[in-house]
Amino acid sequence: MDTTAGPISRKCFLLVICISGLVLLPGCQATQPEQEIIGVWSNDFSYVRYSEDGSFSVASTVAWLDTDPVGWGTYTFDGELLIFYADEEEYCKGKVGRYEIVLSEEGEAYYTTVEDSCIAREENMTKLPWHRYSP
């Protein structure tokens, strides 16, 4: 009986498992919405800019994101839960909005309300899908 066949076979098996894990692992990584969402998005009626510093602004045109936004504040993520903290005066000041966000492979963002007492923001975020804006 060959006693070396067992340990060598086990070593080969473990090597195959390790290599398979290395190949599969990158494809199984969870997406990081906090990085993927940075930039300007549009739902064909509004534009929102998510900045790397955790701030956001909302306007009806891209140009107004810098000069005349209707909404602004900060945002954070808790997993895939997006949390808005509004600083603007008119619509949602002081109101926190929590949304589940799904980023599709086609480059669209879909928001589902978890909790938001600001009706204007909720209607704007959930009515239509958002797509990455490119001039």
Kindly give the pairing relationship between strand 55-59 and strand 47-50. Answer: antiparallel
**For the CA atoms of 71, 73, 78, 80, what is the dihedral angle to 10 degrees?**
30
**pTM above threshold 0.75:** no
Mean pLDDT for back-to-back runs of 10 residues, the chain (135 residues):
50 38 39 82 96 95 94 92 90 93 92 96 96 85
* Domain range summary for the chain, segments of one domain joined by +: 1-30, 33-132
**Per-residue tokens: 96:** 């926190």
Q: Where does 33-132 sit in CATH, by number?
A: 2.40.128.490
- pLDDT recorded at residue 135: 63
Residue 54 zone, left/alpha/beta (φ > 0; ψ -120 to 50; rest): left
